[in-house]
Each structure stands twice: as structure tokens, then as C-alpha cells.
Amino acid sequence: MAAGKGPSASKADQYAALRELYRPHIDSFDYFVDEGLDRMLLSIRPLEIAKGHLLPPKRDGRVDVPLYPQECRQARTSYHGEFKVDAFIQCNDGPSIRQTFNFGHLPIMLMSKLCHLRGADSEKLIFHGEEATEMGGYFICGGMERLVRILILQKRNYPMGLIRGSFVNRGAGYTDKAVIIRCVQDDQSSVTVKLYYLQNGSARVGFWLGGREFLLPVGIVLKALIDTSDREIFTSLTCCYSDHYERGKGIVSTQLIGERAQIILDEVRDLSLFTRTECLLHLGKYFRSVMEGFDKDDFETVAEAVLKDYIFVHLQNNHDKFNLLIFMLQKLYALVDQTASPDNADALQYQEALLPGHLITIFLKDRLQDWLRKSKPQEVRKILSKTSTYVGKAIESMIKVGKVNSQSGLDLPQRDGMTIQAERLNFHRISSFYNSEGAIKDFNQIKKSLIAHLVGAGMAQLLPRIERTGPPEVLHVHLDGCIVGSIASPKIEEVVNHLRSLKLLPHSGIPEDLEVGYVPLSLGGAYPGLYLFTNPARFLRPVKSLLGLSDGGPSIELIGPFEQAFMEIQCPDGGDGGRNKLFPATHEEIHPTAILSVVANLTPWSDHNQSPRNMYQCQMAKQTMGFCAQALKFRTDVKAFHLQTPQTPIVRTATYSKYCMDEFPSGTNAIVAVLSYTGYDMEDAMILNKSAVDRGMFRGHIYQTECIDLSAKSRDNVMEFFCKSNLSRETTTAIESDGLPRIGEKIFPNELYYSVCNNLTGSVRPIKLKGSEPAAIDYVAVNGTNFKDRLQKANIRLRRVRNPIIGDKFSSRHGQKGVCSQLWPDIDMPFSANTGMRPDLIINPHAFPSRMTIAMLLESIAAKAGSLKGKFIDATPFASSVKKTDENSCTSDSIVNEIGPMLASYGFNYHGTEVMYSGVFGTELTFEIFIGPVYYQRLRHMVSDKFQVRNTGRIDQITRQPIGGRKFGGGIRFGEMERDALLAHGASYLLHDRLHSCSDYHIADVCSICGSLLTATVIKSDNQKAKRDMLGLPTIKPPKNFACQACKTSKGMETVAMPYVFRYLAAELAAMNIKMELRLSNRAELPTSEES
Amino acid sequence: MERAGGGGASYQRFPRVRIRELRDDFAKFELRDTDASMANALRRVMIAEVPTVAIDLVEIEVNSSVLNDEFIAHRLGLIPLTSAAAMSMRFSRDCDACDGDGSCEYCSVEFHLAARATDSDQTLEVTSNDLRSTDPKVCPVDQARAYQHALGGSEPFDTAAAADQRQLPFLTFPFPFHEGILIVKLRRGQELRLRAIARKGIGKDHAKWSPAATVTFMYEPEIRINEELMETLTLDEKRNLVESSPTKVFNIDPNTQQVVVEDAEAYTYDDEVIKKADAMGKPGLIEINAKEDSFIFTVETTGAITAYELIMNAITVFRQKLDAVRLQDDDGDLGELGAHLVGG
């Protein structure tokens, strides 16, 4: 045992990096609890003042007894808290009623503010049956751990210019160009507004309402928003064009804009709408039937509501909306005239994340609205009497199933697959769930006072009004989708730099995660402007800022994907990344590994591998059978793979210790020899040393938990419960007196392991163990007593031993997977002359040349040196390129030259090879063998789960052919292509064996006279045989006892071997009145010559 | 046994053994005048066919520890037990006196283990010292050592001293050996109670029965330095040559400044020196050949039996195997092998 280090004082900080991975989930749920819920309730219309109460999980039926997640997993229930809303409702112009509504239970995210384990230290977590490193971030629904997937959405509040063929289908005259903005309100619900370009130069505003898209002429919307004149609209639209500039850098508009503005205005005039009121009336008339709850309001109110709820919902002020719409029109025309390029909807630049808390907020809002709609707020009584608990159930089922059941679709790109099960196969798998979309800044407090800070920062003369001109003279400044001002283009760089430096200061009032998206002027590039974002759900990452060098050392700045596309970020890889001298780098990556995910970061020296191999490793790391959980005793996973004796890798990256991977190691340092030995290592097979396996290498278990709930599946409404039969006095069975198995008992397939008693009949039904391998009872848990103190619900955890056998799959950390082909005796393995070591594992040298996994070779020699020295070796990728800046360790230019001398100093070969002797002959092998420890993982694909063997067995009832499917003991299909192969080889006997003898071999009686296959009938002439039986004489061969029903004779009867399906075919054909006739070759001969 | 003179020449040789170093669990000896097949056979027998006693059957009464039954049984099996008596024991499968259930003195030894953590906060470490043997001859190796130590016997294997000798500083163990081998740690309230039966077995069946930690041999190298050519080298070149070998095979005599062979057996047949000589443009400077008939064995045991016993038992087993071959039906075509055996 290694000398254990004492528990370090900073144990909490130990997991800080790990916790960071889970933070977006937890923070967003906290936001939902703190603010999102109330904000959302306020935005629901008939509720006047509402206050939501979400309570921490409590045990059923008891007050103030906290419910812990562990109990939920065990009992297969949900970790949820009560959800109540205090609301004033006003209906039918009557007095508003205060009422507390009970909406059932809402799932509570683990480690969120409402979780009992929030802030618990390791000891408390362990006390409550959790992992010491439990990070939460998921929900428990019906005992399953469900995780909300982070979906990618279009960036909120940013107008995107898109070209899509589908826009043409909106109607006649539509083109494929549009500007789209996804507007998100305070309560995180969103409405997408599209501005389509028409062939005639006009545009249509489109948005979805009640399942269909409404398209409005842009002029009406402009006029309905504010009291304005045609002239104002015209000048606003055309301000970005001036004859002074022709087609130059940053020009976004052309002369055509004036004509288009005219068309827009003409459209409105043609409808004889002149004033704002007329426009509102026009809209109101159109929308009153569609808008819910406005049946009795006048048209103007309806129109105002439409503008408020569907047009640019992120803005409150109609003037802001007007300005934004003008801006979108200008961008649309720039897109049409190709003075600005379309935006790429698939680029991260224009994307953001859908966070769990936000998803729940918007889905809950939708459900509450649905509930209000159903209970018809006109009748107060109905609301009060209507059950409302199904609202909570809907949320729970959304998390459980991952399906968003909503009519509106909530403006989400997909409706199902919102959640996934958080599988705990190993750390890699679970971390990849959380890390799937990178770090997401969940910044919830939207700082409304940002403008004031901008002004206060000495830019007052630049900001306050929107100039009536456009690029290239001035650039508009957007803050979260609102045009707040404009800045003259020569000064803008200064402003951006100032903003960035303010971002770095601790108390500047500018949030440290402000995204300063400065799109510079360009020729036909992205539409210019200064876009500032403070909203939540943006992606963020830290980089070193080279600007803030004044106060000593570079400081860390958080940047987003939108701004980074226009920033000069250098990577400390030694090169300049082909950067132009005109644009010096303003920022620097913290480390080149920033591009890698957590899992990819764990591959040692991945910069020395061929890139696809690193991808394979990332895949395989998630299939590794590792140390799945430390609290395995308390876990009830349906299936858990557990490695018995894992080790920590000798060669590891910095990420390994950062994320405390030693808590859940996933492999073994195996001594790997690279040589072709015995031939059993061909084609990626590998030879394991039997003695090494005997000593425990790669041994593992599978834990399977069966949850038996008799109350749920009671047959015919008859109660069942666990019980042991009183009749059987068997002592061999594992079943104890309560009908449940004894812990520790080993059970073989088809043995009984629990029994169930039927309450009505009193009959006891024992249940057999399924599968083909023995299992040990690891654990039995009884859940509650809900039927006359009889046991009805139990978890039985089975443990299956899975020691390595031929056919199991293993892999190194370099995408080099292989299958164990032999467990080779220790004495037959080659041995090293000086150390006497025999390898644990032999792989073939052919695994290397084509795959070029140099890092695996490096790992081998580095681990060898490390184990001799007694030190872990750091294998962080790109480390050598970063080191160059130090300029003091230039002695070694490659990893080999760093490690080689170390090996040599311990008396080993510089390149990690050793002289080896054949274990069989004791003679020296001709070549020196490359041997050293490599961290190997056992993958969860094991032959025991996959092998399929069959000689005879179950057959199909109709065709009498063998059935398929491993579960039923079926065979593997010998299909047409396999048949072709045998034919090509001329292996006719084998073909006959496969397709006939081993399949539906059948001897049919055929009448050679009429050729019928189906007319054979048995003649009842058994009296002779019976007589002989009575006399005790030996039975002679019975005579032919078949006759043809059609020919009324048995003379022509012949036996013919054929597939049974052929007979079946004949029967099927006969059913269709088609006669099938067989012409036997010996038909001409007399049947008398026949011997049976 | 009569054997018709087949005309085959006798290849009979008389191997010699010289023991260089012999400690309880370490031995180094020379084997001369035989060939690789014999040396390798001896190695193989030592690893895989010298019998020892190891726990083979575990009946667990109570196990509330964190490790599962299989894991504990596996760990128990790997604990080396003193097996000096193993040669005279019977294999359980061949035992007439019992039906293999372990209640038989000829083929098995019973162990009991009962541990329960009652102490408040201290975790209880269950080690091999907690195993109670029914036969004093067979017990965990550490227990036997501790007993010897207590009797005032000298420390049988001074790890630090041994490590010094072999210049392997990393072999120093941070803890004294008589603490026993850790089986499982128990928390307050946890309990482990079991009955285990140790049986005789060989390493071929399971590695736990293998008495050898390492058995290896090397051909004795024969190093010839071409002194004439060596004289043409400068001192620096000589130093380079000497340092090219990762192991200290050569040295430079401080007086005569000649390259001398310091430790021929440190040579690992890695050809580094020869490659270096070639690179210096002096091929044939040093010639190294392996003596085909001399072997240097290094034997380390797990402690189950002493290195001396291991070697002697291996020879006994080896003889038995040869006897088995010789006593086979005469019709068996032994060919040339027959001629060898006649001589023996």
C-alpha cells in the first residue's frame, strides 16, 4: 500500500475545477428558483401578482422530514419539491381573488439551492450515501438520473442575415433572403421574428402565433409602432446611404434603398392606412380572433398586445422596436445587394446554449398558460375546483422522457431528446455529458445600468443619440438587441479598447463577461456595428489579455464566440499562426490545450498522435470499464461496470490531476511488449499473460439492479407480494423466509432467487434467474410496506464476475483497441534477461506503422522511466511548444531525448527496448523488444454479453427454421451472401449442411403418381403391428403406411428430403388454389421396386 | 532398463552448479555445461511447477466490508503461505483420505479469520496476520517471519541491505514487513468472518501457487577487447566507449588508463558498445559472445519457500517429469531423447 497522504486541508478546492464543469446546470436552475419563476409568473397575463413557492424535497406524508436523493434512487421515486403559487386572479371584471394554487411537484436539481446537499462537504455527502465528489446538476425522476442536454440555439437578440431556399415557399414573390432575430424576454421565453425580402423590394415581418406564421407588410408594423411620418421612415431607412461614398469599405447600402423605401410606404398607402391608429385598427381587426383572451377588447388594444407579445419581445419601448426594425431592414437590403455577407447559422459565433433552468422556466410557463386556458378564467369557480397538479407532472415527464409536449413548440429547434440519462459508466462518460458544449457562462443578473456606466466612462459625447447616418461614417451600438446609440467609425477602436480595459478592472461596473462584438467595416463582409451582449446563456472562455500589461502581467479576460471571430488571439505554440504584422495579437490563449475537451485532454501527448486516433480514444474512454463509483454500495444503477483493481496512470496530463481523475481511475498500467509472438497477436489481437490475470489484472464485475415492484404490475388487480412457499422444504435455494434472496448467495442460471405470492389464490410463484451466467446477490433493499405490511417493492442487485477471457476488448489511451486472443501461460511468455520480467500483454508491431500513434510509444518509455524513478510523468500535449518561452530548458528538443538518458541511467536501453529470451526455448530473440508500461483500459464490450452459439434449439413454429436472436438461443443467419460464398468455393456439402440438415430438414411423403406433396395420409393399419406387439415378436419395419388421398393408393408414395418451408409453400399455394406438382425422377419406374 | 545400442552418440554431460549468493528469498547461481533447453526447463519448472500452498476455497460467513466476496477471496488466495511442507502434501484432487472438502490433514490446511471493527473512529486494517491457521507449518509468510524475529533470529531478509547491494534504491520499503499484507479495511461496525482452505497447487494452474517472483537466466558473456586497436583510442574516446553502455560493464583503469572489463555480467546483450565501436570506425574493437553452455540464474521467491528449497524442489520436480517420460511405454518413440536418458 502506498503511504497515504493525509487528507489535505484544501479538499474543497481540490474539486473546484470539477465543480466548474457542472456549474452552468446548477446555476441556471438556481436562477429559475430565485428569479426566473417569479418573473415568469408575472408575465402570464390573467395572473395579477403572483408569487411562486418551490419547496425543498420532503418525504411523503411527513412534514419537515427532508428527502434525500439517495432515498429517491433507492425507492425509484423522484427528487421533487412542492410547487405552489399565490396569485391574484381577476375574472369577468369582478374583484380579484387571492388564491394559492397547488401545482403538484417540480423536480429539483441536485446540488441546486433547494437541494439538501447543497454545500455539503465530502463527509456529509458520504453520510447521505453519495459520492464524495458528487457534483449534482441532474434530476432524479423515477429513480433514474436524468440530465438536461444543452442544446444549441440561435444567438438571442441579434439580427442574422440568412439565405435559405425554404424562404421562397412562404408565398408568391418571396425570395430566399431574410433577416431573423430571436428575441428573448426576461422570463427566457422567446419569439423569433423574421423579416423576409420580397422580389418587389419590399419586406414582410413574419412571426408564429397559434401554430401558423403571420406575415405583415413591414410598413404597417413601422407605422403601428410609433407615431411617425412617411418622411421619417424614409430618412431613417436611407440614412445609411450617401452619394458621397460609392462602393467602398464598409458601405452597406446602395442607391436602390430609396426606391425600396418608397415601395414600402406605397404598400401602406395602398391599404389607405395613414396614421398609427389606422394601422393599429387594421392589425387589431386581423388578430382579434387569433389572440386569446382578447375577445372583448377593442382593436387597438389587441394590436398593442400583438406588438408587445410578438414583435421584438426583448424590447419594451416602441421607439427601440422601431429603430431595430429599421436596422433590420437596412441589414436585409445590404444582404440583398451583397454589400454584406450572410451570417452562418451553423457557426458558434451566432449560437448560444439552452440551459436547464431556462428550459424549465419556459416549459412551465407554457404549461401554466395551458392550464389557464383549459380552466377558462371566465368562470372563477372552475379555476378553483380544477385540479392543477398535472402541471408539475408535465414538467417531471418532460425530464423523464425528454419530450416537450407543447402546441407552440416553445420556439425550440427540437421537441424531443431534451434530456438524457446520466450514465455512470465511468467519469469520462459523465463528464462528457456536462462538458458537451463547453463552458457556458450562466450570467443571470442582466445589468440594466450598463448605459450609465458607458456614459460615465467618458464617452458622453459619443453615445446618447442615434445619428441619422450609417456606416462607414458611424456604427450603431447594440446592447442586448437594443440600438442604444452610434459612434463615429474613426473613434470606435478606441472605444472598444477602452471597454476591454474596463472589463478587466474589478470594480468598473462593466461586467467582466461583457461581450464586445465589434464587427469592423469591411468590403462585403459581415454587417458592421458594435454589438454588446450581457445576456445569459452565452458561451464564454478565458483568454489572456495582452492589453492589460500595464499593471503587471497579463490578465484573464472572458470572451465569447461572437467577439472572438473579430479578435486577434495568438496561440502560444511558438508560431505566429500566419498573423499579419498589421494586426498584432491583442490576446493570447492560456494554453494550447484550450481547444481540447476534458476527455481529449486526458490523452497523453495527443499532439504526437495521428488525429483520428485521438478521436477514437475519446470515443473509447467513454466505453471504458473503470472504477464507476465509490458509493457503489448505495447505488441502484440498472447496470454498472466496475473494475476491481484499477491503477493511476504513470504517464498523465495536467488535466488528470486537475479533475481529480484518481477518484475514478479507469485502467491499469500493463507491461506491454511489442512483438509478434505465437501468431495469436495478429490483426489487433492481443495476448494477455494468464498469471497477470490470475493476480487480478483487468478483473471486474457487472452490477445489475433489478427493481421489482409488485404493486405496479399486479395481474388482474390481484395483489402480489414477496413470500416463500411453505410447501417446499428445499434448503438449497437462496430464497429466505421473506421470499427474497440471501445476500452473498451465488445463483446459477435457471435457479430460483425470489418468489412471489398471489394474494387471491395463495399460490407461490418462484422467479428464475435469467441469462447464462451465474450471479451473486450483492444487495437487497426493501422499499416501504404498502400492502398490509407485506413486502411489495424491492431492489435486488446482482453481481456478475467478469474476469478477462478470450474475446474481451481492451484499448490503450491512443485509439489502439484490441481483442484478447489468448490467455498465455506465464512461462511461455518471453522474458527479459536482466529483470526477468514477463510482459502482461503482447501486441503486434503492425499496430503502429499505419496508425502512427507515436504517443503510445512515448508513453511506454516514459512510463518505464517514471516507474524506475518513482515519479509520475507529465504528458500534457503541446507542452514543448509552450516551454520555448522559458528558454532555459532548450537542452532537450524531443521527449525521447528527455527520457532516454533517464532510462540509460538506470541501466536500460535509451529507446526503451530490452533483450528478451523466448519463454518456450530459452534462446535469445533476434531483435531487442520494445517493452514498457502502457496504461490500458478494459472496454465494456465483453464476449460474455455477445457470443452466440447454437447447435439445435428453438425453431420457428411455422417454417421450422431456427429462430434468430441471442436472447432466445437463436442462431446467426446464414444468408444469401454467405450462400454465394460457399457456392463460389464449390463447398456443396457444407452448403447442404448449413441450409438444409442444420435448418428445417424434413422428409416428406410425395405421391409420384399425382405429384402432390400434400395428399399423403396415414393408413390406419396398425393392427398387424399391434398383434406382433402382443406376441412379443420383434417389430419388423412397418410397411408403407401412407397413401395418396387423391390417387387412393399407396403405390406411388415416395419419401423426399426437402426443406420444411417448401412443404409450407405448397400448402400456402394450395390455399390459393394453385396446385404444385413434383415430378420425381423415378416416376416411370414401378413403385414395387421401392424399398422403404 | 535395457536399450539396444542405437548407434546414437551419447550427449551426456555433467552440469555443474555453483551458488554465488543465497539468501532466504534470493539466490544467484551459475549453471554450466548444459544447454539452453535444460536451463529454460529449470526456469519454467521453478515458476510454474514447484508446488506451494495457497488459499483456494473461501467460505464467507459475514462480509459487510466494502469489498465484495470474490474480491476478498481473490486477495486471500494471493497471500503467500509458508509451503515448506508442500512437497510432501497431496494434491486435493489426488487425495484418497478425503473428498476434497478440506477436512483432511494430507491435502489441506484450514484458516479462520474473524475481524470486527468496534473501535470508534479508527478504521480496522484486516491483514494476513489475522488469519489463524490450524496447522502451524502453514501460515502467512509475514507471520512466520515475525515469529522468527520474535524468537531472536536475525532479520532474514534485510531489505535495505539487499537494496544497497544491488544498487536499486527504489526497493527500500517504507514499512516493516511484519505488519502483514492488507486484506481489507473495516469501518466501525463492519465485520468479516470467514473460513478458508489452503491447498497444494502449482503455478501452472493459478499464479497464486507460483513460489517464484522472478526467475531469469542469462548467458554468460565472454568479452574480448582488442587491446591493439584499443591503444589507438584517445582517453576521451575510451571514456565515450565505456559510457556508451547503459550498464557498467567496462571501466578505465585509473592507473594504466586501459579499458578493462569491470563486470561482464552486467552486460545485457544490448550491443551498444559494439555499435559505438562501429560508429567510431573501429569495428572489432570489442567482441562479445554468449557462452552457449553457461548460465547465470537469478531467483527470487515470494517467501512461500526459500530460494534454496525452490531450486531443490524444482530439480526434484524436473527429475520426476523426466522419470515420467522415461517410464512411458517403450513403444513411445523417444528417438534421440532416449539416448540422452540412457546416460542419466
Digit-coded pLDDT (tens) for A605-617: 998 999 999 999 9
Residues of B in contact with A911 (CB under 8 A): none
Which homologous superfamily is A615-624+648-696+806-938 in? DNA-directed RNA polymerase, subunit 2, domain 6 (2.40.270.10)
The mean pLDDT of A379-393, rounded to a whole number, is: 67
pLDDT tens per residue, range A329-352: 888 888 888 888 888 888 888 888
Cβ atoms of B191 and B64 within 8 Å: the answer is yes
* More confident call, B66 vs B148: B66
The partner residues of A1053 in beta bridges, in order of sequence, read A1007
Whether B246 has its CB under 8 Å from any CB of chain A: the answer is yes
Whether A202 has its CB under 8 Å from any CB of chain B: the answer is no
Residue B21 predicted with pLDDT over 50:
yes
pLDDT value of residue A964: 84
The mean pLDDT of A803-809, rounded to a whole number, is: 92
Fold match between domain A154-347 and domain A948-999: no
pLDDT value of residue A416: 77
Distance, CA of A306 to CA of A316 (rounded, Å): 13
Cβ atoms of A626 and A427 within 8 Å: the answer is yes
Record the cell numbers describing residue A328, joined without a space: 433590420
Record the cell numbers describing residue A596, joined without a space: 481540447
Instruction: Out of B70, B182, B270, name the one closest to residue A928 (CB).
Output: B270
Q: Which of A83-97, A684-698, A992-1006, B182-196 has the lowest mean pLDDT?
A: A83-97
- Give chain B's end-to-end CA distance (angstroms, integer): 11
SS3 A845: helix
Whether A691 has its CB under 8 Å from any CB of chain B: the answer is yes
pLDDT value of residue A981: 93
DSSP assignment of A402-431 equals -B---SSGGG-S-SB--EEE---S-HHHHH
- A-to-B residue pairs, Cβ atoms closer than 8 angstroms: 106
The mean pLDDT of A1017-1036, rounded to a whole number, is: 66
SS3 A214: strand
Residue A583 predicted with pLDDT over 70:
yes
pLDDT value of residue A828: 92
SS3 A955: strand
Record the cell numbers describing residue A614, joined without a space: 485521438
Nearest to A438 by CA among A325, A564, A332: A564
Percent of the residues in chain A that have a pLDDT greater than 90, as a whole number: 16
Nearest chain B CA: its distance from A915 CA (Å):
6
Instruction: Out of A696, A831, A870, name the one closest to residue B170 (CB).
Output: A870
Most confident of A727-741, A776-790, A957-971: A957-971
Q: Hey, how many other C-beta atoms are within 10 angstroms of the C-beta on A452?
A: 11
The mean pLDDT of A857-869, rounded to a whole number, is: 92
Distance, CA of A360 to CA of A139 (rounded, Å): 12
Residue A448 predicted with pLDDT over 60:
no
pLDDT value of residue A455: 42
Task: Tell me the CA distances in angstroms from A43 to A48, A339, B300, one per residue in order.
Answer: 9, 40, 80
Q: Choose the mutation target among B45, B47, B208 for the interface with A, i.e. most A CBs under 10 Å.
A: B47
* Overall CATH class of domain A700-802: mainly beta
Q: Hey, how many other C-beta atoms are within 10 angstroms of the C-beta on A299?
A: 18
Q: Residue B235 — very low, low, confident or very high, per pLDDT cuts 50/70/90?
A: confident
Q: Which of A34-48, A133-147, A408-422, A1074-1088 has the lowest mean pLDDT?
A: A1074-1088
pLDDT value of residue A49: 67
A921/B60 touch (CB, cutoff 8 Å), yes or no: no
pLDDT tens per residue, range A1068-1077: 999 999 988 8
Domain limits, chain A = 13-150+355-441, 154-347, 615-624+648-696+806-938, 700-802, 948-999, 1001-1089
Residues 644-683 of A with CB under 8 A from B: 644
Q: Which of A146-155, A1040-1049, B63-72 has the lowest mean pLDDT?
A: A1040-1049
The mean pLDDT of A46-53, rounded to a whole number, is: 72
Distance, CA of A1068 to CA of A1062 (rounded, Å): 10
Cβ atoms of A409 and A192 within 8 Å: the answer is no
pLDDT value of residue A447: 38
pLDDT value of residue B78: 92
Mean pLDDT score of chain B = 80
pLDDT value of residue A438: 40
A870/B210 touch (CB, cutoff 8 Å), yes or no: no
Distance, CA of A609 to CA of A853 (rounded, Å): 5
Nearest chain A CA: its distance from B224 CA (Å):
20
Three-state SS for A248-296 is: CCCCCCCCHHHHHHHHHHHHHHHCCCCCHHHHHHHHHHHHCCCCCCCCC
Q: Residue A856 — very low, low, confident or very high, per pLDDT cuts 50/70/90?
A: very high
pLDDT tens per residue, range A646-664: 999 999 998 888 888 888 8
Distance, CA of B197 to CA of A445 (rounded, Å): 68
The mean pLDDT of B133-161, rounded to a whole number, is: 71
Strands of A316-467 (E only): list them.
351-354, 419-421, 440-441
Q: Residue A788 — very low, low, confident or very high, per pLDDT cuts 50/70/90?
A: low
pLDDT value of residue B337: 56
Residues 772-831 of A with CB under 8 A from B: 776, 778, 799, 801, 825-827, 831
pLDDT value of residue A896: 84
pLDDT tens per residue, range A546-561: 876 566 555 888 888 8
pLDDT value of residue A445: 38
pLDDT value of residue A230: 83
Q: Which residue of B has its CA nearest to A699?
A: B71
pLDDT tens per residue, range A185-244: 888 888 899 999 988 888 899 988 877 888 888 888 888 888 888 888 888 888 777 666
Cβ atoms of A922 and B293 within 8 Å: the answer is no
| Long-range Cβ contact pairs of A161-164 (< 8 A, separation 24 or more) | A161/A331, A161/A332, A161/A334, A161/A335, A161/A340, A161/A341, A161/A342, A161/A343, A161/A527, A162/A342, A162/A343, A162/A345, A163/A335, A163/A342
Residue A985 predicted with pLDDT over 90:
yes
Q: Which residues contact B72 (CB under 8 A, 6 or more apart)?
A: B58, B60, B63, B65, B183, B184, B192, B194
A827/B48 touch (CB, cutoff 8 Å), yes or no: yes
pLDDT value of residue A685: 93
Residue A760 predicted with pLDDT over 80:
no
pLDDT value of residue A552: 58
Distance, CA of A345 to CA of A63 (rounded, Å): 51
CATH number of A1001-1089: 3.90.1800.10
Nearest to A698 by CA among A799, A627, A800: A627
- Give chain A's end-to-end CA distance (angstroms, integer): 78
Residue A811 predicted with pLDDT over 90:
yes
Residue A787 predicted with pLDDT over 70:
no
Q: Choose the mutation target among B38, B67, B74, B121 for the interface with A, i.e. most A CBs under 10 Å.
A: B74
Whether B203 has its CB under 8 Å from any CB of chain A: the answer is yes
Side chain identity, residue A221:
V
A908/B69 touch (CB, cutoff 8 Å), yes or no: no
Structural domains in chain B plus CATH codes: 52-140+180-208 (2.170.120.12), 227-284 (3.30.70)
Q: Residue A1089 — very low, low, confident or very high, per pLDDT cuts 50/70/90?
A: very low
A694/B48 touch (CB, cutoff 8 Å), yes or no: no
pLDDT value of residue A1037: 56
Sign of the C-alpha dihedral, residues B53, B56, B62, B67? positive
Whether B181 has its CB under 8 Å from any CB of chain A: the answer is no
Residues 493-532 of A with CB under 8 A from B: none
Q: Residue A1062 — very low, low, confident or very high, per pLDDT cuts 50/70/90?
A: very high
Record the cell numbers describing residue A865, joined without a space: 522511466
SS3 B60: strand
pLDDT tens per residue, range A56-73: 888 776 667 888 888 888
pLDDT value of residue A999: 87
Cβ atoms of A83 and A52 within 8 Å: the answer is yes
- Dihedral class, residue A815 (left if φ above 0, else alpha if ψ from -120 to 50, else beta): left
CATH number of A948-999: 3.90.1800.10
Instruction: Out of B214, B216, B269, name the one closest to residue A924 (CB).
Output: B269
Side chain identity, residue A873:
I
Q: Residue A729 — very low, low, confident or very high, per pLDDT cuts 50/70/90?
A: low
Q: Which residue of B has its CA nearest to A744?
A: B69
Residues of B in contact with A834 (CB under 8 A): 216, 218, 247, 268
Whether A695 has its CB under 8 Å from any CB of chain B: the answer is yes
Q: Which residue of B has its CA nearest to A829?
A: B44
Distance, CA of A184 to CA of A174 (rounded, Å): 27
Q: Residue A899 — very low, low, confident or very high, per pLDDT cuts 50/70/90?
A: confident
Residues of A in contact with B247 (CB under 8 A): 834, 907
Instruction: Out of A3, A690, A825, name the one closest to residue B174 (CB).
Output: A3
The answer, as to whether pTM is greater than 0.90, is: no
Distance, CA of A921 to CA of A923 (rounded, Å): 5
Sign of the C-alpha dihedral, residues A134, A140, A145, A151? negative
pLDDT value of residue A724: 76
Which homologous superfamily is A154-347 in? RNA polymerase Rpb2, domain 2 (3.90.1110.10)
Distance, CA of A113 to CA of A136 (rounded, Å): 11
As a whole number of Å, the CA-based R_g of chain A is 38
Distance, CA of B89 to CA of B104 (rounded, Å): 11
Rounded to 10°, the helix A230-238/A318-336 angle is 50
A915/B210 touch (CB, cutoff 8 Å), yes or no: no
Residues of B in contact with A925 (CB under 8 A): none
Q: Which residue of A has its CA nearest to B168?
A: A906
Record the cell numbers describing residue A486, joined without a space: 452610434
Q: Which residues contact A864 (CB under 8 A, 6 or more apart)?
A: A903, A908, A912, A931, A932, A933
Record the cell numbers describing residue A530, joined without a space: 458594435
Instruction: Out of A3, A799, A825, name the one closest to residue B48 (CB).
Output: A825
- Dihedral class, residue A967 (left if φ above 0, else alpha if ψ from -120 to 50, else beta): alpha
Residue A450 predicted with pLDDT over 70:
no
Record the cell numbers describing residue A1008, joined without a space: 409420384
* More confident call, A495 vs A49: A495
Residues of A in contact with B126 (CB under 8 A): none
Residues 865-924 of A with CB under 8 A from B: 868-870, 903-910, 913-915, 917, 919-924
Whether A126 has its CB under 8 Å from any CB of chain B: the answer is no
pLDDT tens per residue, range A253-310: 777 888 888 888 888 888 888 888 888 888 888 888 887 777 777 888 888 888 888 8
ipTM of the assembly? 0.85
Instruction: Out of A905, A913, A922, name the one closest to residue B40 (CB).
Output: A922
pLDDT tens per residue, range A470-485: 666 777 888 888 888 8
pLDDT tens per residue, range A904-917: 888 888 888 988 99
Q: Choose the mutation target among B38, B68, B172 for the interface with A, i.e. most A CBs under 10 Å.
A: B68
Q: Which of A534-538, A727-731, B306-310 has the lowest mean pLDDT?
A: A727-731
Mean pLDDT score of chain A = 81
Instruction: Out of A799, A833, A910, name the one closest to residue B268 (CB).
Output: A833
pLDDT tens per residue, range A944-976: 888 888 888 888 888 888 888 888 888 888 889
Residue B157 predicted with pLDDT over 60:
no
Q: Which residue of B has its CA nearest to A871?
A: B170
